[in-house]
Amino acid sequence: MPDDKNEPSGFRVVDRRPFGSDGTRREPAGEAEKTPERLPEPVPAAPVQPEAEAKESAEGSAVGFDMLVSYLSTTAMFQLGLLEGPGGERIPPDMPNARRTIDLLEVLQEKTRGNLTQREAKLLDDVLYDLRLSFVEIEKRRAPRPR
C-alpha cells in the first residue's frame, strides 16, 4: 500500500452488488468498468533432488534405505521380546508378528537384489542373519522340553 494516498496503486475496487445501500436496484457495471479476471501467478515448483540424495525428515536425520531396514529390524526385536518397553517393562514375544516382520525384510532383500550398494546389501544381510538366529533361539527356549 503506498504511503501517499494521492499516488495510484494500480488496485481498483469495483462494487458488483446488485443493490445499493438504500436497497434500490443498481445498474449493472458497464463493460468498461469490468476488468478481466487474472489467474494467480503459478508458484514455481521446488527443485527436484536426485533420487540418490536422502530426504531430510523434521528431525534432520536422513531418511533412506538404512532407516527403513533399521525401523523394520527394531520392530522385529520388539516383537521378539529382545527390547524393553517404554517404561522399562519386559515385553512378551509376539512370534507370529516377528516372523512377518522378518519376512518383510526378506521380501525387501529379494526385490532390491542387484539394486543396492555393497554397504546396503551387507546391512540387510547382517540384520536378517541376526534376526533369524534370534528367532530360532527364542523358539527353542519356548518349545516344551521332552521328559
Domains detected in the chain: 57-142 (1.20.58)
pLDDT band at 79 (very low <50, low <70, confident <90, very high): very high
Q: Would you state the cell numbers that stand for residue 121, as one nine-digit string?
A: 546389501
- Look up the pTM and report it: 0.57
CA distance 94 to 72: 15
CA distance 124 to 109: 7
Question: For the residues 103-121, what does the mean pLDDT come to?
Answer: 95
Residue 77: CB atoms within 10 Å: 18
Q: Which of 80-89, 95-104, 123-132 has the lowest mean pLDDT?
A: 80-89
20 with 14: CB under 8 angstroms? Answer: no
CA distance 56 to 28: 55
Residue 97: CB atoms within 10 Å: 14
Residue pLDDT, tens place only, 8-59: 677 777 777 777 778 787 776 655 455 555 556 655 655 545 444 445 545 5
Question: For the residues 81-105, what does the mean pLDDT come to?
Answer: 92
Compute φ and ψ for 80, nearest 5 degrees.
-80, -10
pLDDT band at 4 (very low <50, low <70, confident <90, very high): low
Q: Is 54 exposed, middle or buried (0-12, 13-18, 19+ CB in 10 A)?
A: middle
pLDDT for the residue numbered 81: 92
CA distance 102 to 69: 11
Q: Is 67 exposed, middle or buried (0-12, 13-18, 19+ CB in 10 A)?
A: middle
pLDDT for the residue numbered 32: 47
57 with 50: CB under 8 angstroms? Answer: no
